[in-house]
Every structure is written in structure tokens, then in C-alpha cells.
Structure 1
Amino acid sequence: MSAAGTAPLRATPARAAGHRGRIEAVELGSRFLLVSGWVSGPEGSTPSAAISLSLADGSTHPIGRFLRRRDLAERGIAAEPCGFLLDLPRPEDAEEPLSLTLRAGVRELLTQPLAELAPRPFRPRGHLDHVSPDRLAGWAFNPAQWHGPEEEGRLELVVDGEARIPLLPNGARPDLPFSAAAGGRPLGFELGLEEIARLMAAAGHERTLLEGQHAYELLAGGHRIGALQGSSPRRGRILHRGARPAPAPQAAAPAMPTQPEPDGYIDWHGYAKGLGGWFFSGWLKGEALKGVETCRAIARFEEGTVEVEAAISPYPRQDIAGLGLGYIAFLPSMLNDPGLLEGLTIELEGERSLSPSMGIARMPEAELLGMVRTLLSATTRKPKTPLLKVLAQPAYEGEDTLAKLPAPVHLAVDSVLVAPGAGAVLMGWFLDPNSAVTAIRLRSRGKLSAPLAERWIAIERTDIKDAFSDRFSLDHARHGFLAYVEAPELDPKEMHLEVELAGGDIGFKPLPAPGGAGATAIRRMLGTIQLAPDEVVERCDRVLGPPVVALNRQRLAAAGRPSIVEVGDLPAQPRCSVIIPLYGRIDYLMYQCALFSEHGLPGDELVYVLDDPPKKAALMELAQSAWRRFGIPMRLVLLPENLGYAPANNAGLAQCRGEYVCYLNSDVMPHEPRWLDLLIGALEEDPGLGITGGLLTFEDGTVQHAGMTFKRLPQLGNFPYAMHPGKGRMRRPSLGVQRAEAVTGACMVLRRSLAEELGGFDTDYVIGDFEDADLCFRIRAKGLDCAVHEDAVLWHLERQSQGTPGNFWRHNLTLVNGWTFARRWGHLFPEAPAAETVLRLA
């Protein structure tokens, strides 16, 4: 073994660390996707790493421009430009459900199936700024113009609903946020007198068509996107422009109205948070409201639209006698602060447009319900109209009212965990001795969840049974619960429970402030439950899986930046980067370096990733000692917190320089000197191989790993789990390179370009389990094979690197990771499907 002098510790900046982001919305065109969201760098800065969006088909699309967003600054996320808008080609004939992956450098920030983002059809945007015989100006954003088809990208000016004049954008509009998605393509059009003359002649119209009294509309792909009346923009309506001022003719025609006369007016409106909706009051011309109790309604605000089935009641008003009827309407909505009201449309024998009156007011919530009840009490005699039913609902005022219900109901929520983008997890206990409760729901910002019973796991609580045994006859102790509320837009500041009895009575239960996040929240959630084999699939689908994945994404997005330390002189252009995560037994570094120095690692680099922050100082001393003893240089990636197997390896990948990458566990020791040469050589000799693994043995020489197969295990949710054929047996004579379904992450080699293209290991597998199998299957999906080289033999002290096993939560986490794997790759293992009604344990 060689010796060397002490090398200085050199800190180098981490790449792609400290970033977080979110995909907020997706709009679907026939041949494109429009994706919006945000990505922030450290401390809310504009991202410093290269940000990209990848699709499941392997295509990657860089995000080159970021927008400043006031809402991100107000929420404390980012004061610098961090918002993005990206259009990208829509994959055709996708063989699997489409998903989007957001990356900072090689680090995967998040992956979301398209279905979870609730995509909506794309609607073109635009505006008609000016129309006259000597100037035609405006803009349109419609990616169909460059993605096709041609008819969807057509831009036209329509005059009086008949004359169609084709337009072509001819200028950039950097002032528009859509220019970020347009990628430098022209969005605006600005035409002068000569250009308009040529345009109108080509369309077969006189230039005078652009003056006088006409209605002008801007259409994109047949959709109305903008119009103009004078110099005042109006969104989504046909508007009119009159002729320019001129001397009055001797017999002037009546002036054309600048806009249609409204069908009625809105005098006041207000939001009732306790009832979750908007009240409107005013009057409508005529008597079409008579006998109407519900109708379709659209309320347009400055920053949003509410379109729902409204409850409505007419009432007589003396001030408009003979002109129409007063009305009060209620529109349920969680949109409680959308800015100024622009108008209200109700459908009564056609659309009726109601405009804000000159003196319109927004009624304070404290006065709102009193005003509504006063007006309706003297005008309606039907006790069961939809509007009166709304008013009959008790309003939540921040108090626990369960004790006022006519039946005994005891409910306590001990803790609330908010999983961003998924919903909330409630943990506590519930006692309903008379079975009087029909539903418990969570209300947030006016929106009511589905009954909690649909996503509920009962838990043993003998303390509750003992406490109430003298009052009620209780035949079991499963009074504890863990309930998941699916609510992606949940507001953690405005939440309470509504408990409904069979007779219609409703009681309220305030909730404690959300507490706990990251791995602590996941442990707390999973450590309280035990699942029977026949419960695993349903519980993972409906209760455990979505919030655990969301909580894990949250903790990884909030992770700090690692420190990078170099010990010794690393090769400038290494052949291979060997990434070794350390957790618990950091002393294995010394043993590995001893063996590496004996067998040699010429031209390769070691990258140790510490996933155990309390051991940071000890590891740095150990690395210095190893360098002094064995002369093995290394790069240390020191994570600020425990992230888990996949994120730790990905952090190491971000610091690699080699042409190849070797993922190696700290408890894997080389048995002979050629192991790495053999694994890399197999990839060089066979272009059909994507990844190779070593033959791993126990200390006694028996096989631990010689490739993986997969089998569904009924006792573990019937999910497919990795099997190790030949495990525990004496190894056979070597057959060289042998194809396998997958290889273990304890020792695997692949090209760094492929690892970076795939984003490393998928971080939706929490802490550890299934990441290596998932990586292998993603490589196989690209048409490449996995193989084990039976001449590359290493010892594996299986799972000793992780230290002492955890509590029961770890078993449940394995089930959740198995659920994630089964959702993605279960179709490859059709035998004994998880949906089978008969569970066979034998």
C-alpha cells in the first residue's frame, strides 16, 4: 500500500443545489402543451442552474427565460424572476400515460403525471389594440401558429361577423409574458397605411372597411380572442368602433351604441366565507325571473371567473316597479379574493348580462347574511328553495360546536400534516356511539371535501376505549384514525371540519395549526398503522401513497445546498466516477480505500456523499486519514440533511466528471482488481447494453446478487418485488456477461450521459427501495439491456451500511415505494394482478 502527504481540503461550489419549483398548470393544444410554473434558486433567486422540462418520451426542453411574478413575491417564494411559461410539442401515440419532469441541471425537482395536473384545453390569447384605415395593431399568442395544424393557427380580423382578413404577426412583443414561451417568434402585428392597403386588396376588400361604424373581432383558429371599441380594450366580446369625428351632416343617422345595453344591474355583492360562496343583488329587466330558483351563472372578476349553478330568488322592488324584478343570487366558489367585479351573466331563456351599477358596493361579510335574510324573509314563502337552504346552513365562526349536536359525537384531531399539491393528513380519534354521523368533511376557502370516510384508516386506541367504557358500550378499540383529504389547492390557514348527522344537523370542529414536515412527518404518519395484506393496495392508493410522495417532494425541494470538499489531487478527466453514499457506518470508507489502493483505481475518481450530517466532522477527518495512509484522492459531497438513497446518489452525480458512473454501496468491497474494468469493458464491447452490475457475494462466498427477477408478493400488497435468484447458494463457474431483468444499485455501471439524461435515480422512491429497479426499467424502455458480469466479483455486507433498523414505519414505507413502482411498471408483470379479488397467500 502507498502513502502520501496530507492534502489540503478544497471547497468547490455545488451545482443545481438549493433549487425548488412547481408545475402549476398545463393547457393542451392538438399538437402542443403549454406548461406554466416556477423554479427558484437559493433564497428565492432566479435559478442559477440550467432548468429544463422533460417528457416521458425522453425529450428535454430548456427553460430559457424567467418572469417576475407578484404572487410569488407575496407568498415569500421568490422576489426575483422565477416564473416560466413553456410550449412544447405534444407527443403522439404515447404508449404510457404522459408525465412531466422538472430538472435543475441533472437534479430532478419533481415528476408529475399529466393527469394529476388537471390539464385544460388551450384557448388562444390576444388583443386588438387599434383599427383604422391607416393603422392596424394588436397581438396574438397561439402556439398552433408554429406547431400546427394550419387551420388552428390561422389569425384573422373579422368585420361585422362576415368579412375575414388574414393577419400575420410581424413584430416581437417582449412586454408580453407569452414571449417567454414564443421563443422569439413574433406575437404582435403593427401595420401602416401601405401595408393595410396591400392586405385589404389581397383579401378583396376596400380599405374604407376599417373606418365607420363596424364591429371588429380578432380570431385565432376560429376562437374569438380580442376586440376593440374606440381605445378601450374589452376581453372576449364583440365591440364596435364608430367613425372618427367629422362635421355633422345635414341629416345625421342615429348614433350606433358603443356597447349593448345590459339586461340588468348589480347593486351589491359580497363573499360569505362560512358558506363558501358569493352573494349578488340587483335587478333584472322584465319578469323572466318569476318562479326561477336555480340557473347557470357566470361571475367575471378582474382576476378570475366563477361559473356554476346558482341559487337565485326574485323579489319585488318599488323603485323599479314596471321595469323588472330584484334578485338575490348565490354562487358557490372557493375564489374569495379575485379583484374587482366586471359583470354577471345568468342564463334565463338565453344569456342575460348584468353590469355593475354606478354605486355598486362590496358588502362586508359581517353585514352580508343579515342583509340577505332581511330581504328574503319578507318576499318568499317557500321554506325549501335552494337559496333558503343555503342560508339555513350554519356558518362556521371558529368555534367547536359538536357538543351542541343532538347526538353524542366526540372527535379530536391531534395533528394535521399538509402535503403540498396533494392535500392534508389528519390524525386523531373519533367516537360515534349512536352511529349518528353520516359524513365528516373538511372545508377550506369555501370548498368542501369528499367525506373523510372514503380515505380513512382506523387505528387501535385502547386509551380511548378505556376512557369512555363507563359511558358507552364499546366492542372494539379502533377509535383512532388517519385520514387523507385530497385537496391539491388546500389553504392550511383556512380549514375546519364539518360533521353532519343523519337528520341534517351540522357541527364544526376547528383544526390545530399544521405541524411537522419532511421525514419526521412521514415517520409519524406511517408509524401509527399496521395493514393486513388485503388492505395494502386500497390504503396505498387512497390514503398513504399520494401524501407520502408529496411530503417527500416538499422536503427535497426545501433541501439546502451541499458542501463540496476535495481531498488529494483528483484526475482532471477521469474514466469513471464511483459514487458511494454514506449513512451510519462511515468507517467503511477506510476499508474501501484500503482495498482500492491495493487493487488500484488509475484514472478513476471517488465521490463519497455523506447523507448523515451529524458525522460531517468525523468524515472529513476520516477522509484525510485515508488519504495519508493510502494516497486515494476523493471528492466529498456533504449534504446538509439526510435525504435518502436516490437524492444522495443524484447529488453525487451532479459532481461527477467521468465518462462512466459507478453506483456503489459503502458496504461493497472489491474481491479482485479487475471488477471496474470488466463492468466498463462490457459496455464498451456491446452497444446494446445500458447498464452492468457485478456479481456480489456474502463473506462466505455464497451468492448475494447475480441479477434480479420480479415476483408479485400477495403478503405485501401483491406488488412486484425484486428477487435474487441463487441467493445463499455457492456461485457457479463464471459465464461472463449475462443478461438480467435488472441489477442492484449496490454495484452498477452506466455511461454518465445516460445517467444524466434519465436524471439519475427517481426521488419519488422515499428514503430507499426500488430506485435501482426503476432505473433499470427506464433504461430498458430506451431499448437497452441490463447485464451482470459474473467475473466482476465483490463482497456485499448486505444492509450493514444503514445501521440499526428503524421502527414499523419503514415497513410501511417499503409498501408505499412498492405501490409507486407497481403504478409505473406493474403492467410488465401481469400474472396475479393486484386487483384480483381473491388474495392467495400460499
Structure 2
Amino acid sequence: MSAAEAEALSRAAHVPGHYGRIEAVEIGTRFLLVSGWVAGPEGSTPSEPIALGLPDGTRFAVTRFLRRRDLAERGIASKPCGFLLDIPRPDEDAAALALTLSAGARDLLTQPVADLLPRTFRPRGHLDHVAPERLAGWAFDPAQWHGPENEGLLELVVDGEVRIALPRNTARPDLPYTAAAAGRPLGFELGLRDVARLMAAAGQPRTLLEGEHAYELLAGGHRIGSLQGSVARPARLLRRGGTPAALDLPTALPTLAKPAPARPEPDGYVDWHGYAKGLGGWFFGGWLRGEQIRGVETCRALARFEDATLEVEAAVSAYPRSDVEGLGLGYIAYVPSLQGDPGLLQALDLDLEGPRRLAPSLGTGRMPEKELLPLVRNLLGAASRKPRTPLLKVLSQPVYEGEDTLPKLSAPVHVEIDSLFIAPGAGAVLTGWWLDPTQAIAGIRLRMGNWLSAPLAERWIGTERNDIREGFEAKYPLEHAKHGFVAYVEAPELDPQRAHLEIELATGETGFKPLPAPAAAGVQAIRRMLGSIQLAPDEVVDRCDRVIGPPVVALNRQRLAAAGRPSIAEVGDLPARPRCSVIIPLYGRIDYLMYQCALLSEHGLPADELVYVLDDPPKKQAVLDLAQSAWRRFGIPMRLVLLPENLGYAPANNAGLAQCRGEYVCYLNSDVMPQEPRWLDLMVGALEQDPTLGIVGGMLTFEDGTIQHAGMTFKRLPQLGNFPYAMHPGKGRIRPPSRGLQRAEAVTGACMVLRRDLAQELGGFDEAYVVGDFEDADLCFRIRAKGLDCAVHEDAVLWHLERQSQGTPGNFWRHNLTLVNGWSFARRWGHLFPEAAAEPAVLRLA
């Protein structure tokens, strides 16, 4: 223990675990103000109830403890241990009293008041702000609750002559007094209207609260000052623009509190504000000093809320307000924003030849939307004025209230949304139908708050809807059946709950159409979106760019991100350190597992591991049974990666890659069967012998022995968007004599081998390609970009039952999906195939 701590504690009274002192007493007419401290074990805040007692046994609880810097500096306590408590004064002579400080049921000490050299209480307080629209400050005088009401009277004195009575109307829990913690009103905070009423009751002009004047606070007739020993300081004076004086406290509590720093006066106030969802923005109303806002229609605005800051161009308008006549003008400001709930308003700045800060008025709250717009229109007289200013134009917009208003339009218009798909990070896809028999529609847009999309016609594909033609041809003269549509709205931050369609007619009328709840995403959403689209060859590029490409890629990304973790099963004893891991996805024809194992068993895979990935979850139990049967029949061990949902070719292979242990990886389709035993040895051996090789493919043949794959080249196909597509030279021809290892532009993913560390470095197949197409070509080009070659080993011969493993799903949506994947591939690698890309290709139909 330090010498200072020992000296301090030697003067303090103790009970086990607690010690403390009564340090000072101030005597008021009906109360005593007592200060001191009590510390718990090791200088902590007391853990026992602390009370101050009078000789008659009455006790008063200490409910608030204050941090005392002097106690920390003296090594007594660093935690809050100080107290400042006012108690009723007994009728007898206060100086003859003794006070008892107790901790729990035990007394710490009993101290005669006379030994503390008591002094007369003087009120404390502070004048924080004086202006015609705001008066603020505080005063601590226990006489207001311990004595007659007039003893606690609080007054503002101006220039030493004018006295104005002030109400106490706010608690000040920031002050160090126990009374403040108990919620007693020690502060006053008066806004524009309250100040106006106060000055009117005093018969004084509001100009008395601005300009060069001296202001003082009086409490119970005492000018609020402070005591320094027994010498009183002069009364406090506050001149506008000056710095407030320090907070006066007893000498025993020199560091309990500090005055609030002087705040510059705001340039005006926000009296009300609210969010208009239908107009997509915030309205603010109040008043601004001077006349700088007169005639201004737009300005830069900065609205600071608790959780967000909005900085945009605002529409503003001034109007006269009788209650601030001579001080300034009323204003209304519209701040467009998609954020309808950014927390409490803190300030609004308007740039009017420099920033003008507007502070919230006292009691300012958010106005309900149903009251907001009527108030704004009434103040501006919007109903009787032409919408010439930006603010009046905002107010003239029809407001969406959640209803379908198309039947109320003057022209027959039908727009129905069948499905809404949200593509996170991209926007939304709407499918449905429309009829405009009189050609009245000027544009259809999607609105979310103040944001308005481009016309849907710019990202629109018409689709055949014979049901609509048959249903309406008796009512309208319909010339075709393309009344359906698939439309894409580019809006990465789209919130469907806050969005709706706006249908504008050539007459200027606007109708609204609510959006349905978003439909489930995933492959089904992609299938439904693409299933009705028929694109002519010259439409492919534009429609992929503007309508189907971005949302399909985003929908696929979303479904993959939401996929669960696979489960793993092992059948038989797999090699601990395999040379090569053979990854085989299973979808549809899972029976190929048995055929492959039968052919592989003729020569075995002693140094390699077999990894089957089931991408067809309903067949999980069937695959488990099939794998066990194959093990019993052929003795081929395998690892099964069982996906929780159908993910597609690239994600399935990547899931298999994550479970591999081999030095090399072989990607193999389940419908590829080896013809001879050396196929894998030849491909792995080529990579071992030549470090310039990145990937090696096999020679694949049809069942009749003709070539299916001997390497790939690429050619732009005008009939398919002029994107580069993989070609298979020699496909369908009789296989010539083998030439061994041959370099190629790319090799098929049906059978390819590469080093596992390279596959992992590249992240496997790129999952931006949806379901399956172009992943193998993309992987080959990424390998070539690293300076490595692709090759085909013509001695590694396998049969390929091309695409039979996928079953026979509907082909129409699948064709469109191939176009989307071709579009993705062309955007990444199209620069490598410049032929016929710079100019529109000639489409040869015959």
C-alpha cells in the first residue's frame, strides 16, 4: 500500500470490506447537502447498501455513486465511490447534529456536523443556450422540493434588469446529484413555441434573446455562482457567443462534472419531418434565419440520421411563417432516398451559398405518412398551383398506395405479372402478359421509392401466349399471339416489398400495378424463365446482353451459395496415398456406375482412387446400394460424395475435387468407358514426362469406333449468336492410326487429367457456367493463360455414350441456357477468336 493510500485510509472509518468518509456539509433553509465517499473491497463501488442517517434514526439511501479523480490519484478507489446527497434538515440547529454513514446493517462512522465546518448552501447551475427559438440550461437547488415553491424560483435576468421566470421541465441525469439520478427536473429546455409564449407572458420582445446582452440565472433569488472556501465568486454572466463558465461544485468534489461545451447556434430548425414511401423520399419542414432560401428551388442537402447519412440534391421551397416573422422564413425540403428507416434525425444541412445547419426542434418526431403529404400540400398551396418548381412537380406525382389502378385509366390496358424472380446483385425478372389494344401505353417502368427503372421495353422479350389470344380475341382485334413477356429490371439493390410497376399512357396518366411475392429461385426459376423464349439468330446477342444473361448467372450464383454440405461415404479400402483421383459425377443414369466398375475391374486401379459424386439427391439410397453391390462383385473401392441437391456439372466436380487425395485428378463422365487398360497410365505419364503440359485428354470414340473427340477447336456460329463454340475435328470419322500425344486447342471434360495442385489453384471448373456447358473449354483456356499446353493422347482410347448419362430432360429451356453459357464464354474469351466478331456475321440458311 502506498504512503498516500495509508494516510487516506487512516482517516477513514471501516467496517469489514468497506471504508469511507463524510467530507462536507452545506446547510440550506430546509435541507442539508452532504458529500463524501464509500469504497468497497479493493477500492470497488460499494456492494452493500449505503445510507446516511439522522439522530432520530431516519435513513436516506445513497442511490448514485460518482467517479472521483482525487480518490484515484490518492490510491483509494478508481471505481465510482463518491456521493452528493440532499436530505431534509431537522428542526433543531443543524450545526449541533451528527450524521451517521452506514454500509448495510453496520455503521461506518458517526460524524458531528460542526466538525465538518458547514457552510451555507448556494444554488448551482448553468445557462447553456439563449436564443429567440431556444432557451436551455440547469439549476440545482433542493429548495424546490424541500421547501416552499417560491424558494426554488428560477429566473433569467437580462442586462441586470429584466427578470423572466423559467420552468424546470427536463431531467438531467448527466449531473452528479442524486436528485438528478432520481429524475427530478433540474434542467430547462424550451423551443420556439415555448420561448414565444414565455416572452409574451413576460411582456418582452423575443429580440431581447439575441444580440449583445448579459444573461444571468437566479435560483430562489440567488445569483447562481460558486463558493471558493468562504468567498463568493461574482455572479455568472453569459454573453452571446461567449464560452460558458465552469460548473461550480464543492471543493471536496473538484472533478465530478464539467459544463457542456458551447454549441454554435444553428441557422434554423427542423420542426417536423417524415418519409413519403409513395414518393420515395423525406420531407422536412421548419424555419431558417434570414432570407437566403427565398427563390431557391434546389440545393445540395445533407440529412444526418442516427444510422445513415443522406447527401443528395434536394427540392426546396420557402414560405412565410408569422411565428418567425422578422427572424427568417419557413421552408419545406424534399430529400429523395430509398432509406425509409435510418433512425432518429440528428441534423439537416442545406447548401445555400455555404452550409446552413438546421437542428431538430424540441420534441421533433417523425410524422405519419398519412398526415405528411396533406400538410406539405396545404403549406405550399400545391393543389391550386401549377407544378412548375421541382418540389411542386414531386408533389404532383400520383402516389402509389398498394392498389392496382389500371382499371381506372381512360384506356383499356391489361398488364399481369405471373412470376417475379429476384436475382441478387443483378435485379429482377418478371414474366406475364399484357394487352394494349389502343396502343395507349407510352412506357412501363418499375419504381422503388424515388428510383425509377429504365423502360421495361428496353429489356423485354415477347413470348407466345395463345391462351391470352383465345381469351380476348372476341373483345379486341388481336393480330398475333405474342402477348406474353419476359422482362429484366437491372436493380442490384431491389427490395420487392417496396417496388411496383408504373404504366404511363401517352396522355400523361399513370397507373400502378403491385408486384406479386417473389417466386422460389433455383434451377426451376431458370427453367421457367427460359422455357417460353424463342430467339431468332439475330436476337441472341442483344437478348443475352440485356435480358437473360445477367439474371440467369445471378440466379445460379444464388442457388449455389445456398447449397448445403455434401455427405461422404466410403466403400472398401481406398489407397492412403493415391496416384490419381478419378472424379465421376452421377446424374440420371446411375446404373453406369456398375458398368464402369465392371470394365475397370479387368485391370483394377491399385494406385488410384475412385470418387463418385451423386448430383441427383433422390437416388441417394439407390447409389449407396449400387456401390456396395459393385464392391462385392468387382472389389473396386470408392468414395461417394452425396450432394444435398442437384447443383450441375461444375459444382459437382468441384465437390469431388474437395474430397480428393491423389497427386493427379482425372475428370471422367459416367458414360465414358475404357476400351483398354493403359488409358489412365498414358495420360498421367504424359504429364509426368512433360512439365509444359497442363492438361491431357483421352481419345473418345462412339460405340462403332468412329471418332467422338480427338481435341477441340473453336468456331463462331452465326446461327447461335456468333459466339465461339467448341468443334470436334474428325467427329464421326473412322479413327486413323494413333499418333500418340498431340497438342490441342482444348480437350473435353468428359475425360481429362491434370495435376491436383493446378486444379485447386484454378478453383476447379468455373461455376459461373450454369448447369453444364463450356466449363471444360474455360478450364483449358485458363490453363493456357498460365503458359501451359493442352494435349490429347490418341493411345488412351475410351468409348463415350455422349450425353446419355443426363437422361432426357426438356430441351427447349436447355437450348437457351446453352446460349447464355456461350454468352458468358464469349465475354471472357471472345477476344481470342476475332474472325467475324467485328462485323455482323452473315447468316447462311442454305
Residue 399 of structure 1 is matched in structure 2 by 403
Residue 645 of structure 1 is matched in structure 2 by 649
C-alpha displacement of 1:279: 0.3
C-alpha displacement of 1:462: 2.2
Distance 1:563 1:414, change over 3 A: same
1:829 aligns with 2:833: yes
Distance 1:655 1:383, change over 3 A: closer
Equivalent residue for 2:283, pick from 279, 282, 290:
279
Equivalent residue for 1:798, pick from 775, 799, 802:
802
Residue 597 of structure 2 is matched in structure 1 by 593
Q: Secondary structure at the match of 1:450?
A: coil
Distance 1:450 1:601 in 2: 59
Report the aligned-residue RMSD.
2.3
Distance 2:276 2:445 in 1: 19
Structure 1, unmatched stretches of 5+, are: 1-229, 231-244
Distance 1:420 1:517 in 2: 10
Residue 756 of structure 2 is matched in structure 1 by 752
Distance 2:841 2:728 in 1: 28
Distance 1:813 1:553 in 2: 14
Residue 242 of structure 2 is matched in structure 1 by 255
Alignment deviations for residues 559-587 of structure 1 (CA, whole Å, 9 cap, x no partner): 12212110000001111100000111111
C-alpha displacement of 1:387: 1.4
1:556 aligns with 2:570: no
1:579 partner amino acid = I
Q: Secondary structure at the match of 2:412?
A: coil
1:614 aligns with 2:614: no
Distance 2:817 2:597 in 1: 33
Q: Secondary structure at the match of 1:569?
A: coil
Distance 1:716 1:629 in 2: 47
Q: Secondary structure at the match of 1:520?
A: helix
C-alpha displacement of 1:446: 4.2
Alignment of 1:182-331 (within 5 A): 255-256=242-243, 258-331=262-335
Distance 2:409 2:313 in 1: 30
Alignment deviations for residues 539-577 of structure 1 (CA, whole Å, 9 cap, x no partner): 111110111111111111121221211000000111110
Distance 1:379 1:643, change over 3 A: closer
Distance 1:594 1:838, change over 3 A: closer
Alignment deviations for residues 259-288 of structure 1 (CA, whole Å, 9 cap, x no partner): 443221111110000111110001111111
Residue 627 of structure 2 is matched in structure 1 by 623
Distance 1:676 1:307, change over 3 A: same
C-alpha displacement of 1:835: 6.0
1:771 aligns with 2:775: yes
Distance 2:523 2:236 in 1: 82
C-alpha displacement of 1:250: 13
Equivalent residue for 1:358, pick from 347, 358, 362:
362
Distance 1:653 1:541, change over 3 A: same
Residue 510 of structure 1 is matched in structure 2 by 514
1:687 aligns with 2:691: yes
2:699 partner amino acid = L
1:273 partner amino acid = K
Residue 460 of structure 1 is matched in structure 2 by 464
Q: Number of paired residues?
A: 600
1:534 aligns with 2:538: yes
Residue 442 of structure 1 is matched in structure 2 by 446
Is the 1:714–1:841 contact (alpha carbons within 8 Å) kept by the matching residues of 2? no
Residue 476 of structure 1 is matched in structure 2 by 480
Distance 1:299 1:380, change over 3 A: farther
1:421 partner amino acid = G
Equivalent residue for 2:548, pick from 544, 550, 554:
544
Q: Which has the higher relative contact order, 1 or 2, with Cα contacts under 8 A spaced 6 or more apart?
A: 1
Alignment deviations for residues 758-804 of structure 1 (CA, whole Å, 9 cap, x no partner): 11111111111101011111111111111111111111111111111
Distance 1:736 1:246, change over 3 A: farther
Distance 1:275 1:347 in 2: 23
Equivalent residue for 2:718, pick from 714, 717, 739:
714
Is the 1:718–1:834 contact (alpha carbons within 8 Å) kept by the matching residues of 2? no
Distance 1:381 1:620 in 2: 77
1:812 aligns with 2:809: no
C-alpha displacement of 1:805: 4.0
C-alpha displacement of 1:834: 6.8
Residue 639 of structure 2 is matched in structure 1 by 635
Distance 1:599 1:327 in 2: 89
Residue 501 of structure 1 is matched in structure 2 by 505
Residue 733 of structure 1 is matched in structure 2 by 737
C-alpha displacement of 1:479: 1.0
1:375 aligns with 2:379: yes
User: Which structure has the larger Rg?
Assistant: 2
Distance 1:533 1:692 in 2: 35
Distance 1:255 1:379 in 2: 47
Residue 52 of structure 1 is matched in structure 2 by none
1:476 partner amino acid = H
Q: Secondary structure at the match of 2:680?
A: helix
Alignment deviations for residues 28-63 of structure 1 (CA, whole Å, 9 cap, x no partner): xxxxxxxxxxxxxxxxxxxxxxxxxxxxxxxxxxxx
1:454 partner amino acid = E
The TM-score normalised by the length of structure 2 is 0.69
1:697 aligns with 2:684: no
Distance 2:633 2:392 in 1: 84
C-alpha displacement of 1:381: 4.9
1:557 partner amino acid = A
Is the 2:718–2:841 contact (alpha carbons within 8 Å) kept by the matching residues of 1? no
1:577 partner amino acid = S
Q: Secondary structure at the match of 2:422?
A: strand
1:349 aligns with 2:336: no
Distance 2:477 2:653 in 1: 54
Distance 1:519 1:382, change over 3 A: closer
Q: Percent identity?
A: 78
C-alpha displacement of 1:632: 0.5
Deviation larger for 731-740 or 708-717? 731-740
C-alpha displacement of 1:685: 1.0
Is the 1:517–1:555 contact (alpha carbons within 8 Å) kept by the matching residues of 2? yes
Is the 2:447–2:502 contact (alpha carbons within 8 Å) kept by the matching residues of 1? yes
Q: Secondary structure at the match of 2:601?
A: helix
Residue 429 of structure 1 is matched in structure 2 by 433
Q: Secondary structure at the match of 1:795?
A: strand
Distance 1:586 1:834 in 2: 45
Residue 194 of structure 1 is matched in structure 2 by none
2:352 partner amino acid = L
Q: Secondary structure at the match of 1:266?
A: strand
C-alpha displacement of 1:415: 1.2
Distance 1:445 1:374 in 2: 23
Alignment deviations for residues 432-471 of structure 1 (CA, whole Å, 9 cap, x no partner): 1222211111123443222111110011112222322233
Distance 1:255 1:348 in 2: 26
Distance 1:529 1:479 in 2: 12
Distance 1:829 1:575 in 2: 37
C-alpha displacement of 1:838: 5.4
Is the 1:649–1:663 contact (alpha carbons within 8 Å) kept by the matching residues of 2? yes
